[in-house]
Amino acid sequence: MVADDFAMIEVGLIAPMDSNPRKNFDENGLIELTESIKEHGVIQPLVVRATVHGFDLVAGERRWRSAQRAGLDMVPCVVRNLTDLEVAEIQLIENIDRHQLTPMEESAGVCHLVELGMDKHDLAGKLARSDEWVQLRLDLPSLPGPARAALECERFGLGAAEQLLRVSEGEREAATQVLLELGDQLTTAQVKEILRARYHEPRRRREAWNKLVPELERKFGERSAAVTDVEVSHDFVHAWGAGIGHWVSTDDEVGGMSRHPAESVITWGELADVHNVKTTIVCAGVQVCAEAAVEVVDKRIIVDAERALREQGKPYTLGPRKAAAVVAGEGEGDDAVSAAAETDDEFILRHVMSALELRADDEQLRELLMPVLELIAERK
Whether residue 25 sits in one domain with residue 103: yes
Whether residue 101 lies inside any domain: the answer is: yes
Does 243 share its domain with 338?
yes
Residue 240 lies in a domain: yes
Instruction: Give the pLDDT confidence of 128-139 residue by residue, as tens digits.
Output: 789 999 999 999
Same domain for 282 and 304? Answer: yes
Specify the pLDDT at position 318. Answer: 56
Residue 212 maps to a domain = no
- The residue segments making up the domain with residue 281 are 221-342
Flag whether 375 is in a domain: no
φ, ψ of residue 333 in degrees (nearest 5): 70, -155
Query: Is the per-residue pLDDT at 333 higher than 80?
Result: no
At 20, phi and psi to the nearest 5?
Answer: -60, 120
Return d(Cα 279, Cα 301) in angstroms, integer.
11
Same-domain status, 150 and 123: no
Is the pLDDT confidence value at 98 over 80?
Answer: no
Tally of structural domains, the chain: 3
- The CATH number assigned to the domain holding 70 equals 3.90.1530.30
Q: What would the pLDDT profile of 50-76 be if each residue is shown by its tens digit?
A: 888 889 988 888 889 999 999 989 988
**Cα 131 → chain centroid:** 28
Q: Tell me the catalytic residues.
A: 61
Within 10 Å of residue 264's Cβ, how many Cβ atoms? 19
**Beta strand 74-80 with 46-50: parallel, antiparallel or unpaired?**
parallel
Q: Are residues 229 and 310 in the same domain?
A: yes
Average pLDDT value for residue range 345-364: 75
* Domain match, 22 and 147 both: no
Is 54 a domain residue?
A: yes
Same domain, yes or no, for 127 and 170? no
Q: According to the per-residue pLDDT averaged within each range, which of 219-228, 258-267, 353-362 is highest?
A: 219-228
Chain centroid to Cα 287, Å, comes to 17
Q: What is the pLDDT of residue 55?
A: 92
According to the model, what pLDDT value does residue 263 have?
47
Predicted local confidence at residue 327, as pLDDT: 36
368 within a domain of the structure (yes/no)? no
